[in-house]
Amino acid sequence: MDFRLDLDVLAKTKTALVQVVDELKNLATTFFNTNASLTAKGWKGLSARSFDTVNSEWQTTFLAGVTNVSNLQQILTSVLRQGTDANSQALSLARSIGGSSSRSSKKVLGLSRSDKDAACKTDVKLVNGYDSALNLYRSIQSDLSSLRYTKFSMASEIGSARSGAQTKQAQLTNLTRGLNNYGNTINQIEQGMKSGIANLKQPKGWSGALAQIGSDPALKLKLANLGFGAELGLIIPVVWDLVNFGAYGGDQNGPYDVYNNQKSNPAAWASLLAVIRQYHPNWTDQQIGDFLQKLNNEGCGYVALVNTIFVQYKNNPAGFERAFGFPLYVLDPLSGEYNLNYNALLLDFYCATDNHNKGFFGGDTVNPHEDSNAIKGFGVTATQLQYRAETYLQNRGVKVTVTTAVIPEAKVDVSSAMYHSLSKNGSQVILSMHPPKLYHMDGSYDKGNSGSGGHDVVVTGTTKDGDLVVSSWGQQYLVKPNDFKSSGFDYAYFQVVTYGNK
Amino acid sequence: MPCHCTDISRVKSDIATLTSIQSKQAQLDSVDSSQTSLCKQLSGQLSKAVTPANLSSLTNHAAKFNDSQKSKHLFMKTLVTGEINSLRQTLTLLQDADKAYHQAQQQQRANG
């Protein structure tokens, strides 16, 4: 099934989320007021001011998280309403061909689009089959009217058969219509969930924190003492699914997120650690944590390149595993679903090429001073991304060329037409923005992920308004080429990734 | 005792017509067979395509969707076969009577 949704669990989750939001708000108020009163009354000096700052930052993040849960609750309410409609629709569907309309106690919506389409095709054949039967009835009736001696008649039998065939034709026509309507409703539900989740202002690490709550017995106990108990078991899987719903490309924070939540998802961490150990067998946990934090800080160019690899190999899991040594899909034990193995490939690419450059006299050199510090990286220039991508892929037997379509200094306007021209032969296009300006798919500006520095994203398409559809932070965003007019200070350029001998 | 030639001709025509209807009923059988097979196919596809579980009644129903038409066709076949048999008996009787009539006519002419 492409889609499955248990309405009963959804309804319980929605109710529980309402309670959770209230409890979290109360908890936050008590907690932050207590902290504030500490520095207001009993603690003064530099350390107290520092504590105040941390307290304030944490409060902002925490309240953003609470708003997030509240927004999730609203999404679930909307999904539940649509889901209930879809359930009624399904009952009508059963009635439409004469099946039972009795209500099931288990309201689980599900749809397999390929099987639905196949059923609709079969349905059309059946409708046509009854046309053949109706033609034969007409012909037989005509023959009977030409009988010369006998008074034999089958008028009532033919009438009954004709009426039966017509009724069945109508039912089958309804069935096709009903199946398509049901499919459309499920699509709307799914779209609603996707856009709802895409619009959540999700603090970084929030999804990991949820997973941690779900699996950390001590934390669970504390939360149970605060009044959340049984509902946690309901909330965590659903929220986890929703948070991960609609992943759109890799996320440069992905490996660091897995590192931070290794207790709750040890299998995921073990597979990433194995990748790191191939390159850095003696690193301490601290070094690994810093390295992953640095990837989060500077990894956008690496993610953009990794996304192009997944597009290249999406239908070739065997080839992917042969080239890179790990599977294209990986099972997430928390959700029980298979996801694209973005984190492993991103990490492998980063481990293999971080700070590597083409030497002055050829060959590969490593610049140990490229980054500001252990957790803050320099990022990649167009030339560096080209060198690192080609070196990494060619060492694994993958033929690729990376070119810069317009050099940054030329300050030529990027546009959807230029994207189409560059990608028309199957090449993929990476957009480099300085600074990043990202919009949600509903057109609202994502202030949190825009602003300063540079950012690389892979372009996946365009809209009719000429905007570029891109993948960033594992989600779908819009970029408006007009934000980067060459006459202004902000600029953007394209890099073209071409696989094979093109 | 009248001549039955006209009736015999009509009965033969009716038997031919009903025999032609039988061949159309054979075509209906073929349609039924195809429809039944498609219904089973549809049932399998529906069972994989959609939930909720109460839609299983839909898939069960789909598998037997054409059964009522099939039984109507079977009943009509029985009626047509019965009528053909009946007409064949009538034809025999009419032919016998007609034969007797014409023999009697011939006898009369010979005697005259």
Confirm or reject contact between B23 and chain A (CB < 8 A). Answer: no
Phi, psi of A110 (to 5 degrees): -155, 150
- Six-digit token string for A215: 């699996």
- A139: exposed, middle or buried (Cβ count in 10 Å: 0-12, 13-18, 19+): middle
Q: pTM for the complete prediction?
A: 0.48
Task: Extract long-range pairs of A36-43: CB within 8 Å, 24+ residues apart.
Answer: none
Binary contact (B51, A157; C-beta < 8 A): no
**Residue from A122, A132, A180, A181 whose CB has the most chain B CBs within 10 Å, to mutate:** A122
The residue among A237, A232, A244 whose CA lies nearest residue A197 is A244
Give the type of residue at A480: K
B33 close to A (CB below 8 A): no
DSSP state at residue A3? E
List residues bridging with A494 in a β-sheet. Answer: A431
Q: What is the full per-residue pLDDT of chain A (502 aa) written as tens digits?
A: 677 777 777 787 778 777 777 877 777 777 777 777 777 777 777 777 777 777 777 677 677 777 777 777 777 787 788 777 777 777 777 777 666 555 555 677 788 888 889 999 999 999 999 999 999 999 999 999 999 999 999 999 999 999 999 999 988 888 888 888 888 888 887 777 766 666 554 444 444 444 444 444 554 554 444 444 444 444 443 343 333 333 556 788 889 989 988 888 888 899 999 999 999 999 999 999 999 999 988 888 898 899 889 878 866 777 888 999 988 777 666 655 556 788 999 999 999 999 999 887 778 888 888 888 888 888 888 889 999 999 999 999 999 999 887 655 556 678 888 998 888 888 999 998 888 899 987 788 887 777 777 888 888 888 888 899 888 877 778 899 888 876 677 778 889 999 985 4
A230-244 and A46-96 are packed helices; what angle lies between their axes, rounded to 10 degrees?
80
CB contact under 8 A, B57 and A152: no
Give the other-Cβ count within 10 Å of A307's Cβ: 28
| Residue of A93, A129, A149 with shortest CB distance to B34 | A129
**3-state SS class at A409:** helix
Element (H, E) at A371: none
Using an 8 Å CB-CB cutoff, list chain A residues near B21: 140, 143-144
- Residue matched to tokens 């009419």: B94
The interface residues of chain B toward chain A in range 64-103, judged by CB-CB distance below 8 A, are 65-66, 68-69, 72-73, 75-76, 79-80, 83, 86-87, 90
Q: 3-class SS at A434?
A: strand
Give the closest-approach CA distance of B105 to chain A in angstroms.
25
Across the interface, whether the CB atoms of A150 and B60 are under 8 A apart is answered no
- Percentage helix, strand, coil, to 5, in chain A? 60, 15, 30
Cβ neighbours of A100 in B, within 8 Å: 54, 57, 61
Residue A304 in contact with residue A429, Cβ under 8 Å?
no
The helix/strand/coil state of A167 is: helix
CA distances from A179 to A91, A96, A199 (A): 11, 10, 30
Taking a C-beta distance cutoff of 8 angstroms, is the pair A69, A77 a contact? no
Measured CA to CA, the distance from residue A481 to residue A422 in angstroms comes to 15
Q: How far apart are CA A233 and CA A226, in angstroms?
A: 15
List the alpha helices (DSSP H) in A40-153.
46-96, 113-145
| Alpha carbons A221 and A230: distance in angstroms, whole number | 11
Among B34, B52, B83, beta carbon nearest to A152: B83
A142 CB contacts (<8 Å, ≥6 apart)? none
Buried b (16+ CB within 10 A) or exposed e, A97-131: bbbbeeebeebbbbbbeebbebbbebbeebbebbe
* Count of other CB atoms within 10 angstroms of residue A173: 15
For residue B13, list chain A residues with Cβ-Cβ distance below 8 A. Answer: 148-149
Question: Which amino acid, A306?
Answer: V
DSSP string, A185-201: HHHHHHHHHHHHHHTS-
**Chain B closest CA to A151's CA: distance in Å?**
10
B contacts of A87 (beta carbons < 8 Å): 52
Q: Identify which of A116, A125, A157 has the shortest CB distance to residue B72.
A: A157
Token pair for A142:
């005509």
